[in-house]
Structure 1
Amino acid sequence: MITPQNVFRHELIGLPVEVIDSNHNDFIGIKGKIIDETRNTITVDTGLDEKQLPKENVTILLTLPGDKKVSIEGKVIIARPEDRIKKKFKKIR
């Protein structure tokens, strides 16, 4: 089960997302569903179009099952999805 403590070790594709902070003002406020993830980017389907966002420049707010929300700084999840799932992270409280 995906929780705020283990979100890094799970698949992000399919989760609702909102960009809450970015170095690039045009990215702030983008909302949608994650439809693809690469080492350096996430692709978000906004309903109108698809936006490709660099992980390094954004802070995202993910909505987990059960309507739990967790914010993640994109720099922390820079890795190929299959490598990130295996990676060890410090515990979050």
Structure 2
Amino acid sequence: MLAPETLTRHELVGLTARVRAGDNPDLLDIEGRVVAETTNTLGIEREGDESSDGRTAGERADRVATVPKAGTTFEFTLPGADGAAELVTVEGRRLVARPARRTEKSGDSKWR
């Protein structure tokens, strides 16, 4: 079950994320849905850039911000069971790993 305590061990694609702090000031306050994840980056499609808007994939690609995990603090919105959203802040360095390996890890959560 996706919970704040286990967020770093779950799939991030599909969650809403916001860049709260980071080494690159140009990336601050980018907010949208996580559409891609690599070992070192998250791809965040900015709000309002849904695929049903009639644009081609190439036109949408310029709306996906590639944000490095290391040196960035993210705020994820988790859907609550009662319909209320919960905000969870995570230091990006805690997410640096291949997504498949990161989700297999066990042990204590390292979210902040």
TM over 0.5: yes
CA distance in 1, matches of 2:6, 2:100: 15
Q: What TM-score, normalized by structure 1, do the two folds share?
A: 0.92
Question: What letter matches 1:72 in structure 2?
Answer: V
Question: What letter matches 2:15 in structure 1?
Answer: L
Q: Which runs of 5+ in 2 are unaligned?
A: 50-62
| More deviation, 66-75/47-56 | 47-56
Q: Which residue is 1:58 aligned to?
A: 72
Q: Which residue is 1:35 aligned to?
A: 35
Contact 2:15 2:33 in 1 (8 A): yes
Structure 1 residues 92, 80: CA separation in 2 closer, same or farther (over 3 Å shift)? closer
Q: What TM-score, normalized by structure 2, do the two folds share?
A: 0.77
CA distance in 2, matches of 1:83, 1:92: 15
- State the number of aligned residues: 93
Question: What letter matches 2:29 in structure 1?
Answer: G
CA distance in 2, matches of 1:24, 1:89: 31
Q: Which residue is 2:20 aligned to?
A: 20
Q: Which runs of 5+ in 1 are unaligned?
A: none
Structure 1 residue ranges, 4+ long, deviating more than 4 angstroms after superposition:
none
CA distance in 1, matches of 2:69, 2:107: 17
Cα deviation for residue 86 of structure 1 reads 1.2
1:41-80 matches, within 5 Å, as 41-46=41-46, 47-48=48-49, 49-66=63-80, 67-80=85-98
Cα deviation for residue 53 of structure 1 reads 0.5
Structure 1 residues 11, 91: CA separation in 2 closer, same or farther (over 3 Å shift)? closer
CA distance in 2, matches of 1:41, 1:88: 22
Cα deviation for residue 29 of structure 1 reads 0.5
| More deviation, 68-77/42-51 | 42-51
